[in-house]
Structure 1
């Protein structure tokens, strides 16, 4: 079922982007459309899949093409977020391919290619945001339901911007474990699972009770998703994740994993963390030293336990949603993918 849904979402994206290329106001746009196509090719489509299940939770028909277009609009929003995220993190790669700002830098007409790439990527990310809204409003949903869903959409957008800011400014987030949890909840958790579910549900006519039950499933699973991301950012294989495994350590990200490590570390271990975590020149051996400290404090095991308990809480909440069998099976499978993924 998930494979079939994903194929339908991919088809909707392809059709929409083809339309943007055909009706482009200037000849500079079609090549940008192709960059977006290439970027979207490696995505997991989690948010569209969750929104399709939310559509079912609200009583929507599985075969309604509006549900697919809603999901496709979320994937374009996700593209906007990732393109900008890679700019902010100065990431070289995404999904095993050059990040969009690196691709665009190769097309610089002259001068500072890196600056051109970043500037063009900001514009292309903004374009994906605009297209996301265009696709949503052309999905074929009644105006009153679009209006009802506006609060969910606005909340999702504000949350991810706040989370991105907190990720950039650890002082604003705070230097304790709760600060790391703020980043998790604002930047990723709700945006990955809860809001897509709720958006699909509201657009199909769900009442407030169903919307609240979506959060009972989505909130813990979204946290599990980000906790897994934290582990992959330190212990994942670059060949599998598509990103260098030392990036989070080099960037000095104060994830839940690193906050737990800091809490449990002794004085000598903290001295090493102070010296190496966030070092722009971090080498392979130094990164391995940080990993050894994380393991010695059992912070990684604690995060694994958090992931498992949150997945279990999410799955146990499914019964309250009164889903059709296909949607319940899909959400159960997605819960496993989010918690135990390798990329």
Structure 2
């Protein structure tokens, strides 16, 4: 989406690291603690796909037009883009502790590093706090400063609510399929993923481009981007089960991890409608177990229930609905933003 190179975005990152570390001596931080925080940032913020951060930059480029995408606008878009990546790091450091995850992005989860452990909880707090330090340094004089703070706080709050429901619905050590439902899954996806991953980058770009928080464009974006974000997560759940590990870069473990995934809630719904006690028992006996043979039995049940076809029908339906929404957008630049997001995600295979 757009022409900003990922490398250019990456090259800007050290500037922001120095911004947040550079003020720490005024808080009486020792050189050793500052270097430790440098490692926290470098280990956890950099290294992802950076799709969220680059979305801020590319959306801004479309909205202002190439001729108005000045170095100053680009710099501000880079700061906002990296703030979303910083937010993601805060979530993931905490999430890995809660999920007892072993790895993240091909390396040990931060809390599993020697000498870190549960100190990672405080590290996650600091990663979030650094975002607000960056905003104060770079945007305090901007007319959108308060709206930016409220936007970030609102999306953070929604994500944390989604995480809470996810954690109490599907704890790994307490398997209870009665907690799962299509409605519960929809809530988790909407709040835990869609707002900060899809709506937040675009809403930040709107503020940078001079839109006011009460302008209807924000609601219009929310009505398109939240369903797109929900579709993205449902795709992820589908690919976890049916994707080629060589192609998607990971081995799916949603079944073994007792995840309230789209696949299992669709299976439970189909079983409830058919009234098959045998199929329900297969799920009860095999779902959420750290056992590949049991996971294979769940996948076989999904095949018997034709869940893949249910997904493909859903994908066609949501794709048509989203394209219809794009066709109704009167602002051609906003339509271009929506189409760029859609093209990146629709029928992706990894």
**Does structure 2 conserve the Cα–Cα contact (< 8 Å) formed by 1:58 and 1:205?**
no
Of structures 1 and 2, the one with the larger relative CO (CA 8 A, separation 6+) is 1
TM-score for both structures, normalised by structure 1: 0.83
Q: 1:200 aligns with which of 197, 205, 224?
A: 205
Q: 2:295 aligns with which of 287, 294, 297?
A: 287
Q: 2:309 aligns with which of 301, 304, 323?
A: 301
Q: Which runs of 5+ in 2 are unaligned?
A: 172-177
What residue is the counterpart of 1:177 in the other structure?
A: 182
Deviates more, 1:25-34 or 1:204-213: 25-34
**1:1-343 equivalences in 2 (<5 Å):** 2=2, 4-21=4-21, 24=24, 25-26=29-30, 27-55=32-60, 59=64, 61-63=68-70, 64=73, 65-102=75-112, 104=113, 107-108=114-115, 116-117=116-117, 119-140=118-139, 142-170=141-169, 175-207=180-212, 208-246=215-253, 248-265=254-271, 266-279=276-289, 282-318=290-326, 320=329, 322-324=331-333, 331-343=338-350
Q: Which runs of 5+ in 1 are unaligned?
A: 109-115
How far apart are residue 237 of structure 1 and its match?
4.6
What residue is the counterpart of 1:111 in the other structure?
A: none
**Does structure 2 conserve the Cα–Cα contact (< 8 Å) formed by 1:163 and 1:186?**
yes
How far apart are residue 79 of structure 1 and its match?
0.9
TM-score for both structures, normalised by structure 2: 0.82
SS in structure 1 at match of 2:97: helix
For the pair shown, the structure with the greater C-alpha radius of gyration is 2
How far apart are residue 10 of structure 1 and its match?
1.9
How far apart are residue 76 of structure 1 and its match?
0.4
SS in structure 1 at match of 2:252: coil
How far apart are residue 241 of structure 1 and its match?
4.5
Give the superposed CA RMSD.
Answer: 2.9
**Counterparts of 1:329 and 1:85, CA distance in 2:** 34
* Residues 39 and 153 of structure 1: CA distance in aligned 2, closer, same or farther (over 3 Å): closer
How far apart are residue 72 of structure 1 and its match?
0.9
